[in-house]
Amino acid sequence: MPIGIQDFEKLRTGNYVYVDKTAFVYRLAQTLNPYFLSRPRRFGKSLFLSTLKYYFLGEKELFEGLKVAELEKDWIKYPVFHIEFNIESYIDVNSLNQALESNLSILEKIWGKDVTENTYPSRFRGLIRRAAEKTGKRVVVLVDEYDKPLLSTMHDEQLNEEFRTILKGFYGVLKGEDANLRFAFLTGVTKFSKVSIFSDLNQLRDISMTEEFAEICGISETELKANFTPDVERLAERNKISVEAAFDKLKQRYDGYHFSKQQEGVYNPFSLLNVFADKSFGNYWFATGTPTFLVKMLKGAKLDITKLEGNTRIDALSIMDYRAESKNPVPVMYQSGYLTIRGFDEERNQYELGYPNEEVKYGFLKELLSVYYSNEEERTEIDYNKFVDDLLNEDVGAFMQRLQVFFSGFSYDLENKTEKHYQTVFYILFALMGQRVAVEPHYAVGRPDAVLEFKELAYIFEFKLDGNGTAEEALQQIEEKDYAGKYHLSGKKIIKVGVEFDHEKRNVKRWKVNRAQ
């Protein structure tokens, strides 16, 4: 399994598995357009860029047996500039300068340098012109993770602005040297609207949400079965489940990414390769770390976490055009892979977004808990099964006491101590318990704050913040609006719980319980 292998030559000569994406290479290469592709981290962007590199270098032997070998007849060699930004931590301006210096110095060893070129844009421009003049061929420019410096400094507005200014001048060279460019392809996670490649370089074609290229990265269901069925069989054997059950579990945990309105879902390739290597259903994508910028953004965002199951909507014009000053995390959550397209409302021109799969959902909720919970050691020791046991044993008192301990570790309040804050925390807790949870479900008679269903039990919770209502009034609301009505014919035992929160202590104050069949 090519885990961590991002060089196409190493992959092809090292006996690694390869899912053939070279038909996309050929299709892109037939035009002279510069392209941009946004995909989440660990989704195969760097490998695809490396594939383009060896194609334009004319390395025909590396492509034997692949689709492009059937299509390409000429195999022309071009000068290729492969520029990488995933090489620094970007903590200050010097680190960005080092990354630019490193990339340009490598190219100058090949194509030379003019002593009059003393800025990054002038050096870049000179390199393109010399390479074109020496070879008689237009230059191919491939930029990997163009936005890494910008993502790393999203929490620091002043430094981020300095980075944007530097990169605006550097990337602006691509527009001025269009006559000397055969092809350009840039990858990243986020499309920043204030960088010149998007504000000035108007011929750049963004294929991030184009149906034609929706499966350019990631693994489709068809590709999974064509390339990995023996691995799924071994996975099933190791985990003592049927092959059909293994396919179902893979789909549930790692499938579901959609990058256009109509596209078939694709699997996260990094997670799949690790599953097959370890023969274990782990949380591999999240093990590589949630981007710091996203956690910091969520701390200051007015985001309704309970609607991320599939009820988040965003205007079609905003989903890719991220503006750092907007403070809206939804576009960057989509582009980063934490949300994906679930549907499209043609009338309103809006995308409906939700979690792509279980790995992302539960990993994200655990990460989000760190936004609320101050003590990391206590957070990692939370046993969600004990909460489940309390409810299955119908011991509401033990559950609420455990909840009081749970709330006592919180230090950060996303919702300014409103009922929505406590509703959100309940949602995260219930979701991490792995049970079926609904927050403010749509009932004809109104909306209870939270509903938790088991096979033979259903809990209905209503929350009140002291000063706005009591536990008794919360329970009375459940009764008066007959929130339990939909369960009358289910045979389930219904347990209604009114909960009152102390807004000063930020914890459960009192609760009242009513049990009904």
Give SS3 for 511.
strand
Taking the C-alpha atoms of residue 36 and residue 142, their distance in angstroms, rounded to an integer, is 10
Whether 414 has a pLDDT exceeding 70, the answer reads no
- Which pLDDT score, from 0 to 100, does residue 497 have? 93
What's the pLDDT tens digit per position in 109-142?
A: 999 999 999 999 999 999 999 999 999 999 999 9
Contact between 204 and 38 under an 8 Å Cβ cutoff? The reply is no
Residue 292 has pLDDT above 70, yes or no: no
Structure-token match 């007849």, residue found: 73
* Cβ atoms of residues 438 and 449 within 8 Å: no
Q: Are 191 and 320 in contact (CB under 8 A)?
A: yes
Per-residue confidence (pLDDT) for residue 81, from 0 to 100? 98
Average pLDDT estimate for 480-508: 86
As a 3-state breakdown, the chain gives helix, strand, coil percent values, each rounded to 5, of 45, 15, 35
pLDDT of residue 351 exceeding 80, the answer is yes
Determine how β-strand 340-345 pairs with β-strand 507-516: unpaired
pLDDT tens digit sequence for 299-330: 666 677 777 877 788 888 888 766 555 567 88
Does residue 286 have a pLDDT over 80? no
Q: What is the pLDDT of residues 40-81, one digit of tens each?
A: 989 999 999 999 999 999 999 999 999 999 999 999 999 999
Task: Look at residue 412 in the predicted model and tell me its pLDDT.
Answer: 47
Q: Can you tell me whether residue 312 is helix, strand or coil?
A: strand
- The larger pLDDT score, comparing residue 371 to residue 3, is at 3
Cα 219 from Cα 346, distance rounded (Å): 28
Strand, helix or coil at 180?
helix
CATH 3.30.1490 matches 373-516: no
pLDDT average, residue stretch 273-285: 93
Measured between alpha carbons, how far is 396 from 497 in angstroms, rounded to an integer?
8
Across 154-166, average pLDDT = 88
Question: pLDDT for 182-207, tens place per residue?
Answer: 999 999 988 776 565 666 666 688 89
- CA pair distance 38, 29, nearest whole angstrom: 18
Rounded distance between C-alpha atoms, residue 201 and residue 172, angstroms = 7
- Give the domain 8-211 fold: Rossmann fold (3.40.50)
Pick from 54-58, 347-351, 383-387: least confident: 383-387
Region 175-188: mean pLDDT is 93
pLDDT at position 443 over 70: no
| Residue-range domain boundaries for the chain | 8-211, 219-287, 292-358, 373-516
Collapsing DSSP states into helix, strand and coil, what is residue 12? helix
pLDDT digits over 9-28, tens only? 999 999 999 999 999 999 99
- pTM score, two decimals? 0.86
